[in-house]
Chains A and B, each alone.
Chain A
Amino acid sequence: DGGITQSPKYLFRKEGQNVTLSCEQNLNHDAMYWYRQDPGQGLRLIYYSQIVNDFQKGDIAEGYSVSREKKESFPLTVTSAQKNPTAFYLCASSLLANTGELFFGEGSRLTVL
């Protein structure tokens, strides 16, 4: 079955540690995205990538980093510079960046203790 796989589903980390969230898709989509979801705040775009080896900052990129070395993979690193990292993180993909439906993974819930 085609889809987007995010791992881990739940993650606990101590303050000051970097963490990397995995996102893999087998939909052969060109574009991939990372969103952050906080209660009552909707979805906010962190980073997006339209093609391999290229990515762009979204609305709330500070304290985050990404890479896109393969079409199928778009990992997100939450660095110690992110002031409030506890959140639900959603990865998504679409066939193209400029049109069409976003397909979301099931999310990763990060809790920083």
Chain B
Amino acid sequence: QQQVKQSPQSLIVQKGGISIINCAYENTAFDYFPWYQQFPGKGPALLIAIRPDVSEKKEGRFTISFNKSAKQFSLHIMDSQPGDSATYFCAASTSGGSNYKLTFGKGTLLTVNP
């Protein structure tokens, strides 16, 4: 049973464009939603995270939009750059953000063309 569904699997965007990655979840007990960024041959790194008490969180060019009623959250990358080309994972967990309860999406491979 996949508890966090991520789409699309891959995404190609032109430099300067907006990249949008979507995730949907089923478990209404989830209360922590991080996004991780992974470059080839490296481990993932935390990019940005949100809790359900807010609908949006912005850090630089990266924004998480959260829709609690629809059980969906998305990552928006504004002014996408070739250096943003990476795999992005959404995740969700319960109990205030327990790392051992993190459920990851299957990932989105983003390619930003120059």
Which residues of A does B touch, CB under 8 Å? Answer: 4, 31, 33, 40-45, 48, 50, 56, 58, 90, 92, 94, 97-107
Contacts and interface: CB of A to CB of B under 8 A. Distances in A.
A102 B104 contact: no
B9 interface: yes
A33 B106 contact: no
Interface string B70-113: 00000000000000000001000001111110101111000000
Contacts, number: 64
A39 to B, nearest CB: 9
Given A104-B44, A106-B42, A107-B43, A43 B89 contact: yes
A42 B104 CA distance: 6
B40 to A, nearest CB: 11
B33 to A, nearest CB: 13
Contacts of B34: 101
Contacts of B12: none
B45 interface: yes
B9 A40 contact: yes
A31 B102 CA distance: 14
B43 A106 contact: yes
A91 B36 CA distance: 15
Contact of A94 (B41, B95, B99, B106): B99
Given A41-B106, A97-B98, 16 more contacts: A42-B6, A42-B104, A43-B44, A92-B43, A92-B99, A97-B100, A98-B96, A98-B97, A100-B97, A101-B46, A102-B36, A104-B43, A104-B44, A104-B45, A105-B43, A107-B42
A31 B99 contact: yes
Contact of A102 (B42, B46, B96, B105): B46
